[in-house]
A and B are shown apart, each in its own frame.
Chain A
């Protein structure tokens, strides 16, 4: 029983983890992209559609990543080149993504989906308990583990990561030192889009292998909250994502044991938990101010 619960927690947490990691890099570069939900839902529908048409889950995932990147490129052009308001542009991206995904997905409603296969890692998957939970998963779950390590290493152990953080903390100085603020931010935004697209593909090809309108159901927004929760540190994103994964599968398991609680109350728990967590984290100024990128959300017009 406990093993089964843990398995569902991992599948519920993985899309949150991937999307939040991408957004963490974007925000570290000083850009606030509120369009995660829109990029994610586009990843979900494009991934499903391509996998369905080609019969290849791999191509579906690649296409989903591409869709997320295309959406984020649109956002990047407006926010970085035309210096539009980041909050409003991110909202526009979400509205557009929900609309486009509905248009593309109309043909795929009720179509049985394709589930990407699980890869059992030899030897490790035989370990009792730990093996089935962590080493009998699909490739995207392993990729999410690798992504955490890669993002943490990149941000805090590489020169380019240092530059990226510098751009997010003080774009004026970074520009004066000769770094191309816009180019670095654009690259970060594209990475965030790729992650959101991948997270979306996980929703429609692994979590629930089908297409349902609005199937991301606010997970993109929860991913944004997770970045605040983690105070912009990659390892804390893991903790947050798994915590939220646990809260969101409560619904499933409460139904199984027939608790007499309205299902709507259980469904609202992830959103209420998000608010509670944001309050607890934000109330502690020390915790948030240390790592918050100082230029987060501020526009930059290069001085030529």
Chain B
């Protein structure tokens, strides 16, 4: 028996819709198997992981809180990936964004007025964009592989954060704990919808919708898609590959940096040696599961946020390690990629002896 791919005459629209759903279903199946192997009831495990977070108000809100940075980062990454720029350093851009956003509340705590918060958000976006421009500039100027450089900067960024929080930015009144001072009210994102969630959720949704319109309706969106699919065709149209590399990295970095600032000024209210449970990497999965489309990313971000809350749920209720969350995230990305094959190809199982002479590809 052998698996053979037969190219479809055109992209399957139905599969483009179905493949993320099939991927989620297969991931749930695989997760069930993992629960049984580790000696737990798979149905209870799956319920606690995927359903229970949705049944209670606090966990539903916690899921939205986790989904927000994922969606915002993934929106930026999708622009990179659509234009064939492999930025996988969003985790570092998130951290540096959070650091830039924290300059005012940490170093100038007495600067408290209506301008504090907007300035913080702008600083955060600038910090993330600057950090992302490093691999982009190295790629355009020296032809350096952006996958490796953007990733190396993740490690550097987390060491910078560690240094600041344990060193110069440590809270002078903090009993020597490695953490910054707590942000003042003027530097804290206000809560909306009766205290259910911070302002970061509506900001994120607004940005995703604007990006969806830009990608679908504007020349810039057209340029991004053309350059991703055929850089040669794009260059005939007068689009610059280097310019787009710089643009997409700067945009992705700015959104990741904004997400970082909103995380520290909303959810955490101070800087800690570690401020992200791997949002920058999980956002890569969100971008793919959402089919590199901002609206799809909103849904995908919510699904992946479930894995964080569900992971904590199964840990406390069943004693399964919460590492299972990242196992399930990795499996989900595998299944998403595998199912995408169905959009371009039909899969046929052939026995060793039959169908040799059949040439049915296009």
Contacts and interface: CB of A to CB of B under 8 A. Distances in A.
B156 A271 contact: yes
Q: Is the interface of A mostly helix, strand, loop or mixed?
A: helix
B337 A225 contact: no
A159 interface: no
Contacts of A262: 163, 167
A271 B326 CA distance: 24
Nearest to A37: B151
B337 A95 contact: no
B155 A88 contact: no
* Most chain B CB inside 10 Å of its own CB: which residue of A89, A92, A218: A92
Given A95-B281, A103-B327, A278-B145, A268 B156 contact: yes
Interface string B119-162: 00000000000000000001000111101110111011001101
A91 B327 contact: no
Given A96-B330, A262-B163, A303-B361, A102 B151 contact: no
A127 interface: no
B155 A271 contact: yes
Size class of the B contact interface (CB-based, 8 Å): 35 or more
B5 A99 contact: no
Interface residues of A, number: 49
Interface in B311-362: 321, 323-331, 333-334, 337-338, 340-341, 345, 356, 358-359, 361
B3 interface: yes
A34 B281 CA distance: 14
Contact of B142 (A93, A95, A221, A283): A283
B169 interface: no
B284 A91 contact: yes
A282 B153 CA distance: 18
B337 A85 contact: yes
Interface in A60-118: 74, 78, 81-85, 87-89, 91-100, 102-103, 106
B147 A34 contact: yes
B5 A278 contact: no
B249 interface: no
B285 interface: yes
Contacts of A96: 326-327, 330-331, 333-334
A267 to B, nearest CB: 6
A224 B148 contact: yes
Given A218-B155, A275-B149, A282-B145, A264 B334 contact: no
* Most chain A CB inside 10 Å of its own CB: which residue of B138, B143, B288: B143
Q: Is the interface of B mostly helix, strand, loop or mixed?
A: helix
B329 A304 contact: no
A87 B120 CA distance: 34
A99 B149 contact: no
A228 interface: yes
Nearest to B162: A264
A96 B338 CA distance: 15
B333 A221 contact: no
Given A92-B330, A275-B149, A99 B341 contact: no
B7 interface: yes
Contacts of A87: 86, 147
B73 to A, nearest CB: 14
A267 B356 CA distance: 57
A92 B334 contact: yes
Given A87-B86, A264-B162, A278 B144 contact: yes
Nearest to A272: B156
A208 B167 CA distance: 28
Contacts of B156: 268, 271-272
A274 B138 CA distance: 13
A221 B152 contact: yes
Given A264-B160, A282-B145, A275 B153 contact: yes
A265 interface: yes
Contacts of B155: 217-218, 268, 271
B88 A84 contact: no
Contact of A78 (B151, B325, B330, B338): B338
A102 B147 CA distance: 24
B237 to A, nearest CB: 24
Going nearest first, the 10 A-B pairs with the smallest beta carbon separation are A96-B330, A99-B326, A102-B323, A99-B327, A92-B333, A95-B330, A264-B163, A84-B337, A283-B142, A264-B159
Interface of B: 3-5, 7, 38, 86, 88, 138, 142-145, 147-149, 151-153, 155-156, 159-160, 162-163, 167, 281, 284-285, 288, 321, 323-331, 333-334, 337-338, 340-341, 345, 356, 358-359, 361
27 contacts: A78-B337, A81-B5, A82-B338, A82-B341, A91-B88, A91-B284, A91-B333, A92-B285, A94-B330, A96-B334, A97-B330, A106-B323, A218-B155, A264-B159, A264-B162, A264-B163, A265-B159, A267-B159, A271-B152, A272-B156, A275-B138, A275-B149, A279-B144, A282-B143, A283-B142, A283-B143, A304-B358
Given A34-B147, A265-B163, 12 more contacts: A78-B334, A81-B5, A82-B338, A91-B333, A100-B323, A221-B151, A225-B145, A268-B155, A268-B160, A272-B152, A275-B148, A301-B5
Interface of A: 34, 38, 74, 78, 81-85, 87-89, 91-100, 102-103, 106, 217-218, 221, 224-225, 228, 262, 264-265, 267-268, 271-272, 274-275, 278-279, 282-283, 285, 288, 301, 303-304
